[in-house]
Structure 1
Amino acid sequence: MTNFAPRIFQLIAVFLFLLTSNSVLGQKVQWMSWEEAAQLATTEENPKKIFIDVYTDWCGWCKKMDKDTFQNEEVAAYMTENFYMVKLDGEGKEPINFKGKTFKFVPSGRRGYHEFAAALLQGRLSYPTVVFLDENLNMLSPVPGYQKPEPFLNIARYFGDNIYLRQDWKTYSGQSR
């Protein structure tokens, strides 16, 4: 009977591990670097669009969106299936190459900003802001502000399902009435 007790603890430990893993609790967003996403988008046989979450370490709403929206099972599953997911620190220090140009960190005030974030956000450094790019790395739209899961999915489907190609946002979202 003495060998039985450790075995039970091992089985309980394995069960708890499986219970907290992605396969049991659901889909998790698979974040990648800009370089990885751009490489996949330009070399894959069936490329996906790119989704970029522009955040900063000090942004409370960014952290809330990570927790509430991006870790939502339905959001994570849809986004993983339809987009290459990138996290971009708006104050990151590493250079980023995009369409033949190198974007760098610019010291400014107490913090500074990354030129790539400024370009993607069209000069409006507001966090969080998410950005959708098509399969050819062309800007579809930046979307500023915290988004709850359901409204976020509505926006993501507009781009991910190519609805933007045949219907304007106001009509799609019911704002044109």
Structure 2
Amino acid sequence: MRKSGSIILLGGMLLLLGSFSLDPTPVPVTSPTPAPETDIHWLTWEQATEKMKTEKRKFIVDIYTDWCGWCKRMDAATFQQPYIAKYVNEHYYAIKFNAEQKQEIQYKGKNFKFVNNGQRGYHELVAEITNGRFGYPTVVFLDENMNVIQAINGYKGPDDFEMIMTYFAQDYHKKVPWDKYQRSYQPLPHDE
């Protein structure tokens, strides 16, 4: 008796579930709302220099290596912040540059290549735009003519990086000393 009651109950549940799938009422199809842009549009050196031909902007060059733990942390903690990504995408061409990449790069009419040096080596372009100061991560800010504004060595959290990127994007570095800018800085709105 108990077995047949269980079978009847199970059969009833299956019929009930099946009736939901046979509902002839059409389900309205809606387009998904696009997610807010939360990623930086990272470009290669070549892509960024090509874009410069149609629209001049400053550059942020994130110099990293595959083995650099602080580089990975900056990617996750700083560059993944939606307000950082939005600001970078609006004001800069962002370049991800592996300091140990083998590809030859052209910059200001010269070719720069990888140089073997001990176990790892380095790319000559990194030496050029950091003035020979190697350390990872390093973020280099370039102006609209690809001249170095400043190379910033070491990990920077979101708050510090926000202040730095706005300082260069808005050309405050040309008129306001850094310490004065820091004291009067108003953070960007964080829509979280």
Fold match (TM-score > 0.5): yes
* Pairwise CA distance, 1:25: 5.5
1:97 matched to 2:106? The reply is yes
1:159 alignment counterpart: 168
CA distance in 2 between partners of 1:156 and 1:4 (Å): 54
* Pairwise CA distance, 1:98: 0.4
Aligned-residue RMSD, C-alpha: 2.4
Paired residue type of 1:139: V
Paired residue type of 2:41: Q
Paired residue type of 2:73: K
SS in 2 for 1:173: helix
Q: Which of 141, 148, 160 matches 2:150?
A: 141
SS in 1 for 2:62: strand
* Pairwise CA distance, 1:3: 9.2
Bigger helix fraction: 1
Show CA shifts across 1:30-51 (max 9, x none): 100011111222x12x411011
Q: Which of 7, 21, 42 matches 1:4?
A: 21
TM-score calculated relative to the size of structure 1 = 0.83
Q: Percentage identity across aligned positions?
A: 40
CA distance in 1 between partners of 2:151 and 2:62 (Å): 10
CA distance in 2 between partners of 1:90 and 1:3 (Å): 58
1:69 matched to 2:78? The reply is yes
Paired residue type of 2:159: E
Show CA shifts across 1:44-101 (max 9, x none): 2x41101100000000000000011001111001001000000000111000000110
User: Which runs of 5 or more residues in structure 2 are unaligned?
Assistant: 1-17, 23-30, 185-192
1:78 alignment counterpart: 87
Paired residue type of 1:4: S
Cα distance, 1:3–1:48 mapped onto 2, change above 3 Å: farther
1:38 matched to 2:55? The reply is no
* Pairwise CA distance, 1:115: 0.2
TM-score calculated relative to the size of structure 2 = 0.77
Paired residues in the alignment total 161
* Pairwise CA distance, 1:114: 0.3
